[in-house]
Structure 1
């Protein structure tokens, strides 16, 4: 598993990927986050190798995204190393929300023929791929911003960035 750390306007982002695809995109805003990530990989007996050149495509996409350009991360192959089958379904459905658009927890639940809106939020709280799986585009049914693992300030920043 290769990894790199990239600097962007929201701070450092940790990216990890296998030969199959991107596995993790996580903000390192929290001081302990790097240790949490490396401990997660150790528990799974996955060796991490620092390798920036393996991330040229991802770095370009993220850079353009933070420059305010409409970027589509759906072309990036993914390799989920975490998550239950249900969480993965939620993540893949959320991945379909286009740049600049939002949806509700209820909408995603209905698309998955699931009655529990809260379970959608719980699944999204475990999203391993910040921005790539755009859980920041998911709002409460009343239009309020809802929750976000990266913090509400980050969610607001990303939503503003995507406004036309």
Structure 2
């Protein structure tokens, strides 16, 4: 049986850091990613040169998310934690209750059409507040498209950072959430406590 020693782990980490540096220096990384721990579970955060392109819950399957990024954005995807230090810091501040909005550049490459329009409206929902799918449809200029708004929220590639968790059903019930209802409740409770 092969055991991985501390020395082997250190060597592998050093080699990965070298790969990360050289790939960045040569412009070979189009999508950098890292995994961060949070109170709602581990989150994969990915960015292009334009900004954060994807935030994913572990329940979505990180390998599946990375494959989708390779197919839809670029096959040049690399775990490069250093490129996402700012995003990780802002997420930590948010979960600690010290940040009410994100100042990260966003890349909406995975958001198109009406879904993209709705997803770009989501940051206008203030921290600690909620709105309904119907009110958001009205704000988007399509008052009867509340189901389409629900779909836009369900397919939001930037959950937490682009706050689709702040959108509820007209009766005040939670509706759905890509990270699960427990995660949605936790995010809303965090924001209500601030």
Fold shared per TM-score above 0.5: yes
- Which stretches of structure 1, 4 residues or more, deviate above 6 A after TM superposition? none
In the alignment, is residue 14 of structure 1 matched against residue 31 of structure 2? no
TM-score of the superposition, structure 2-length normalised?
Answer: 0.79
Q: Which has the larger radius of gyration?
A: 2
Higher relative contact order, chain-length normalized (CA < 8 Å, sep 6+) = 1
Q: Deviations over 1:69-108 (max 9, x none)?
A: 23211x2111122132211110011121111111111111
> Any conservation in 2 of the 1:70–1:99 contact (CA below 8 Å)?
no
Question: Structure 2: any 5+ residue segments left out of the alignment?
Answer: 1-30
In the alignment, is residue 143 of structure 1 matched against residue 177 of structure 2? no
> Any conservation in 1 of the 2:90–2:99 contact (CA below 8 Å)?
no
What RMSD in Å do the two structures reach over aligned CA positions?
Answer: 1.3
1:56 maps to 85
The structure carrying a bigger helix percent of its residues is: 2
Among 102, 112, 131, the alignment partner of 1:84 is: 112
Match of 1:63, SS?
helix
CA distance in 1, matches of 2:75, 2:125: 31
Match of 1:23, SS?
strand
Q: How many residues align?
A: 161
Q: Deviations over 1:102-142 (max 9, x none)?
A: 11111110011112111100111100001111010001111
2:64 maps to 36
TM-score of the superposition, structure 1-length normalised?
Answer: 0.92
Tell me: CA distance 1:57–1:42, structure 2 relative to 1, closer, same or farther (3 Å).
Answer: closer
Question: Structure 1: any 5+ residue segments left out of the alignment?
Answer: none
